[in-house]
Amino acid sequence: MRDGQTVTVLDVNITEFWKFLERSAEETADPTQRLDWLTIRLSRVSVEHIADFQVHLEAARRPIDTYAMWGAANQIMDGFCSGDGFWYFQPWLIGQGQRWWHHAAQNPDNLADLPAVRALAGRGPREWADADWPHWEELAYVAPRAYDRITGREDSIDEALDARGHRTYSNPEPTDQRWDSDSLAQIEQRLPRLARLFPRQQYVKP
């Protein structure tokens, strides 16, 4: 991580949200260091803009909170993507940046194009380093921690979001059609490229 550099965030609109998130990736590839960088920088802006960041982050979940995407994540994780696992996968995908987030949202099989996904191919999940896992649960806590730091009160961002009429949810809530992501036939039909990149090591139904 480069020291001595700052970024000025005057407003956290949706464009600045993505720029800010992507700037953290330019600073460092280490997930923990990215979190530190984001928390420190967010702590320098107004509480209103910190809340903006959280709203944009949660809004970015909606297009990828689908059974279609869950099945794709499940394929990458060799059939071991639980509800919690998918919930943590979503901020990881958002953290890849707007281009890749949008590309995957268009078609979950497009995850096969993401450099971070391709880097996992050819190895089973048990061989992945902790930093390689497609999970980034902690991104969801960056804005709340920065908000608490400024206000000196724990969970203080919740009141601000409630005042905006913003609904926060904490588990996947897909609304598209559920499908059997353990069916080989459906996997090959829906996720042909991911199926080639990540052939399932455990039993799947024919």
Distance CA 87, CA 192 (A): 23
Neighbours of 129 (CB within 10 A): 7
Cβ atoms of 181 and 161 closer than 8 Å: no
Segments in the chain below pLDDT 70: 1-11, 202-203
Cβ–Cβ under 8 Å, residues 83 and 172: yes
pLDDT at residue number 185: 92
> What integer pLDDT is reported at residue 132 of this predicted model?
92
Cβ atoms 71, 108 nearer than 8 A? yes
Query: Could you report the per-residue pLDDT of 73-101, keeping only the tens digit for each?
Result: 999 999 999 999 999 999 999 999 999 99
Please name the residues in contact with 49: beta carbons below 8 A apart, sequence gap of 6 or more: 9, 11, 12, 42
**Separation CA 27–CA 4 (nearest Å):** 11
